[in-house]
Amino acid sequence: MTQQRWQKNAEWPLTIAAIVFLVAYAWEVIADLEGVAGVTAESIIWATWVIFMVDYVANLALAPQRWGWFRGHIFDLLVVVLPVLRPLRLLRVITLLTVLKRTAGAAFRERVVVYVAGASILLVFVASLAVLDADRSAPNSNITTFGDALWWAFVTITTVGYGDFSPVTDAGRLIAGGLMLGGIALLGVVTATLASWIVERVAQQEEDSRVATHGEIRALVQQIAELQATLDATAKTESSRASTTGH
């Protein structure tokens, strides 16, 4: 089997695994599961990990240039190593399901907008779960409910940082650092997309202006030609009359 065929066949199973992981992880953290329910949720989480691990190993084994594939797919490795990144696989489906019938530039920008919106929602939700899971039982923690965690994630990804909630564990601070970097990266993407849109609008206006100017010039040339033809006809008529009068 080729790598391309494997990736095509594995795309939807991996997407379903990402959804299942997200549901199981949210269930485990928000409900603070224990006993049989906790074991069930944890088993589902580990099962999804196995699926992503198998996909990563298969891609690495089937890659024509394994070292080159490894260097170009660090994110896939992080998806296996860091469970909180697995739901980001859903972003691929979000972009694939976007039906666009515009110019190439507009289509690209709309994909970027969809990706940024999807990434922001997923990052905030997953970071909320992760920081709540890390800090809820820690001494002196002020993030003890999902609502607190969600508010903290929202103000962190927007780089506002009110400081009313903050993680106290090392894992929580690591999550906070990743969320801050993610927020800055998403802000950069939004800024670049907006700049691209402005540049294209200005270029389009300039192009429309040039087209209008060329049209006006052509119309003016045509009018001059018609006027010249009229003058030539008038001159010939006058010349004919003068010749007739002379005779």
State the chain's maximal CA–CA distance in angstroms.
126
Domain ranges of the chain: 1-87, 98-232
- Give the pLDDT score at 43: 92
- Does the pLDDT at position 171 exceed 90? no
- Does the pLDDT at position 87 exceed 80? no
From CA 122, how far away is CA 119, in angstroms rounded?
5
98-232: what fold?
Helix Hairpins (1.10.287)
Closest to 75 measured CA to CA, from 60, 61, 85:
85
> Confidence class of residue 100 from pLDDT cuts 50, 70 and 90?
very low
Q: Where are the alpha helices (DSSP H) in the chain?
A: 3-30, 35-62, 66-72, 74-81, 90-96, 104-135, 146-157, 170-246
Stronger pLDDT, 120 or 155, i.e. the higher one = 155
Mean pLDDT, residues 75-98 taken together = 57
- Give the pLDDT score at 96: 38
Least confidently predicted of 117-121, 129-133, 185-189, 199-203: 199-203
From CA 190, how far away is CA 171, in angstroms rounded?
29
How far CA 22 is from CA of 28, 82, 131, 217, in Å, comes to: 10, 13, 15, 63
- Give the pLDDT score at 183: 80
Mean pLDDT, residues 20-33 taken together = 87
> Confidence class of residue 103 from pLDDT cuts 50, 70 and 90?
very low
From CA 109, how far away is CA 117, in angstroms rounded?
12
User: CA angle 201-202-207, nearest 5°?
Assistant: 95
Mean pLDDT, residues 180-190 taken together = 78
Stronger pLDDT, 199 or 149, i.e. the higher one = 149
Max mean pLDDT range (44-53, 71-80, 231-240): 44-53
Tally of CB atoms within 10 A around 130? 25
**Total residues found in the chain within this entry:** 247
Closest to 26 measured CA to CA, from 150, 180, 183:
150
SS3 label, residue 102: coil
- Give the pLDDT score at 148: 92
Least confidently predicted of 65-74, 90-99, 205-214: 90-99
pTM of this prediction?
0.66
pLDDT above 90 covers what percent of the chain? 8
Contact 62, 42 (CB under 8 A): no
- Does the pLDDT at position 94 exceed 60? no
> Confidence class of residue 104 from pLDDT cuts 50, 70 and 90?
very low
